[in-house]
Structure 1
Amino acid sequence: MKKIFLIFVAVITSAVHAQNEVAKSAVDIAPLLIGEKIPALTLKTAENKAFDLSELLKKKKTVLIFYRGSWCPYCNAHLQALAAAEQQIIDLGYQIIAVSSDSPENLKITEEKDKVKYTLLSDSKGDLIKAVGIAYRVPENYKTVINVNSNGDNTSLLPVPSVFIVNTEAVVLFEYISPNIKQRITTELLVSVLKNL
């Protein structure tokens, strides 16, 4: 019995450790699984105010988006598509929250450029993407753009673009994660999933 308990503890410890480790590439990530909880962390708003993510998640079921930043054309296209489908998503009882490595100042640029009305939050230091297990170390050619857009808070981490659907207890009900930065969930598929959860 003691041996089984020690094995169980080792498995749990390695799973927690895997999510705190930063993957070497986008294909090596170890994301949270369906049924696990989004960690309670404080992020920054576009107005540079501290914001408790868990308090926001308690308010309503959530479509939680992780995107690379305002400099990524694939992310911008995805954010615009979500903005176009926002009313449909709200009508289904969900809110949209999008998190990036951009600094709060750069979130304002995204709001204006992509005509986004839903909540954008800054994880410029990468704490949440590491805790969720979707952070990876980027190649050299990305480091300057990340550094500039995070206002020096981050020089080497990006999230694998991801969508987590979570309930009001922050439990993951569905996830779509693709290491291919060009491949994003369509709004049609997302709406279909929301209708069936």
Structure 2
Amino acid sequence: MIKALFGQFKRWYAIPYVLMCIFVTLQSASYHLSSNSFSLSWLGVSIAIGPLVVFMAVIYFLPWSGIANYIAVPFVAAFVGTVLAVIEMRPLPTFYSLFLGLGGVLVYIFWYSDLDRRDNPLLKIGSKLPDFTVKSIEDKELQSSAFLGRKTLFIFYRGNWCPVCQSQLQELAEQYQEIQRRGVAVVLISPQSADRSAELARRLDVEMQICVDEGNRAAKRLGIVHHYGVPLGILGYGSDTVLPTALIVDESGSIVYADLTDNFRIIPRVQTLISALDGVW
């Protein structure tokens, strides 16, 4: 019950927080442009919150799989900006810097990004991949056993709404020939609709199998459902999604590699997956 409640808090947090940060950044810029006097506190607001807004913009509008490596930039900026705001101690900008700037960055890094993922005994390396059922974008049912007899990379992604997932999949498409050259099939699975999955297939334009997990049936079977994982305000995806998961399975259906990330910003780069393929075969 407590875990579900915190999951709902996370769902309600993301978009309202980003909108508040954008509003405060614009308010700070307006002060600098309209005031004839210099304010250390309002400068602190710009430094504490501005880099975080840029970081979020890069994630959502220019999906880049390496962005997680630069989370220290908005953190350091938030700390420096808060110190500047506290020196002058004007109430409103100091509040913004402390709670939206430094506090917001800490919440994003240490609470919001954490998927609260427990150890999954179903997806241990060396164990057989549990049977599950998905659908093709043509609405045909596919049993996981249909992928037996070939090395397979399964990517469970949250949906087209998730920029971090989209960055990973775009990189995967760009290096698909390298994976195919190793004799490995790629299967992408998401609980999003067939129409959105078909849109993704057109955008990636490679011969990867893209599947729909209706109602998270396969995710439930594998123990990788993310309850309340879709941020409030993202329409058409429901509230539940899948925990980002990458599995490499051999011809007999045994798991030889598993990435069960506990942080949605940190999912395996394609080069990591290729190295994993080379390491097991």
Report the TM-score range of the alignment, normalised by the length of the smaller protein: 0.7 to 0.9
Counterpart CA distance in 1 for 2:163 and 2:229 is 18
- 1:39 maps to which of 124, 130, 133: 130
- Shift, 1:108, TM fit: 0.5
What does residue 154 of structure 2 align with? 64
What does residue 96 of structure 1 align with? 186
Segments of structure 1 that go 5 or more residues without pairing to the other structure are: 1-22, 150-154
What does residue 27 of structure 1 align with? 116
Say whether the 8 Å CA contact 2:230–2:240 is kept in structure 1. Answer: no
Segments of structure 2 that go 5 or more residues without pairing to the other structure are: 8-114
> Which has the larger share of helix?
2
> Which has the larger share of strand?
1
What TM-score, normalized to structure 2?
0.55
- Shift, 1:177, TM fit: 1.8
- Shift, 1:140, TM fit: 7.4
What does residue 276 of structure 2 align with? 193
Say whether the 8 Å CA contact 2:137–2:212 is kept in structure 1. Answer: yes
Say whether the 8 Å CA contact 2:231–2:239 is kept in structure 1. Answer: no
- 1:167 maps to which of 242, 250, 255: 250
Q: Which has the higher contact order (CA 8 A, sep 6+)?
A: 1
- The correspondence of residues 120-159 of structure 1 with structure 2, limited to 5 A, is 120-138=210-228, 141-142=231-232, 145=235, 148-149=236-237, 155-159=238-242
Counterpart CA distance in 1 for 2:258 and 2:225 is 15
Say whether the 8 Å CA contact 1:143–1:156 is kept in structure 2. Answer: no
Say whether the 8 Å CA contact 2:229–2:240 is kept in structure 1. Answer: no
Counterpart CA distance in 1 for 2:231 and 2:176 is 34
Say whether the 8 Å CA contact 1:63–1:165 is kept in structure 2. Answer: yes
What TM-score, normalized to structure 1?
0.77
Identity, % of aligned positions: 26
- Shift, 1:129, TM fit: 1.0
Say whether the 8 Å CA contact 1:166–1:174 is kept in structure 2. Answer: yes
Q: CA RMSD in A?
A: 2.0
Deviations 1:120-158 (A, max 9, x none): 10002111111212112115744863xx24xxxxx3322
Structure with the greater alpha carbon radius of gyration: 2
Say whether the 8 Å CA contact 2:117–2:262 is kept in structure 1. Answer: no
> Is 2:201 aligned against 1:118?
no
